[in-house]
């Protein structure tokens, strides 16, 4: 399986409900380093997994909708704990939509899977992997 990974970051504010979250129940900020890994069994006609430039642009565009936002105020997330795991899935699903609409180019239609990892720090991160 071949893969490429592109990276960006996103800064958000949010709070959680539930005692398991301790002090994170209060409004707090988070900066996530975001990796998006695209995979396929065979390289495309250009011998690449996907156009790295387009993958980078689309990740940036997906993150722009979340960047510098208080996620508690986003209607789509009302009543949801926007955990790192949850956000990894949201970002992966939004990237997958862009793959399917052709935003990453025709060659991207041969992609088989996508993994998004959000790094909370240098020692903790969460990921979500999905088929394309």
Q: What is the per-residue pLDDT for 107?
A: 87
Who contacts 125 (Cβ-Cβ below 8 Å, separation ≥6)?
33, 84, 117, 118, 119
CA gap 91, 63 in Å, rounded: 7
Q: What is the pLDDT along the chain (132 residues), one digit of tens a residue?
A: 999 999 999 999 999 999 999 999 999 999 999 999 999 999 999 999 999 999 999 999 999 999 999 999 999 999 999 999 999 999 999 999 999 999 999 889 899 999 999 999 999 999 999 999
Q: What is the per-residue pLDDT for 126?
A: 98
Per domain, the residue ranges of the chain are 51-132
**Statement: 51-132 belongs to CATH 3.40.190.150:** no
CB of 118 within 8 A of CB of 91?
yes
């Amino acid at each position: 399986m071949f893969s490429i990974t592109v990276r960006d970051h996103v800064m958000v504010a949010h709070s959680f409900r539930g005692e398991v979250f301790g002090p994170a129940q209060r409004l707090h900020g988070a900066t996530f380093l975001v990796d998006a890994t695209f995979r396929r069994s065979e390289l495309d006609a250009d011998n690449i997994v996907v156009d790295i430039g387009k993958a980078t642009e689309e990740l940036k565009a997906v993150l722009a909708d979340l960047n510098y936002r208080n996620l508690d105020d986003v209607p789509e997330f009302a009543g949801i704990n926007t955990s790192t795991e949850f956000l990894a899935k949201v970002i992966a699903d939004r990237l997958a939509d862009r793959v399917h609409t052709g935003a990453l180019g025709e060659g991207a239609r041969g992609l088989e899977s996508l993994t998004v990892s959000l790094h909370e720090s240098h020692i903790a991160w969460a990921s979500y992997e999905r088929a394309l």
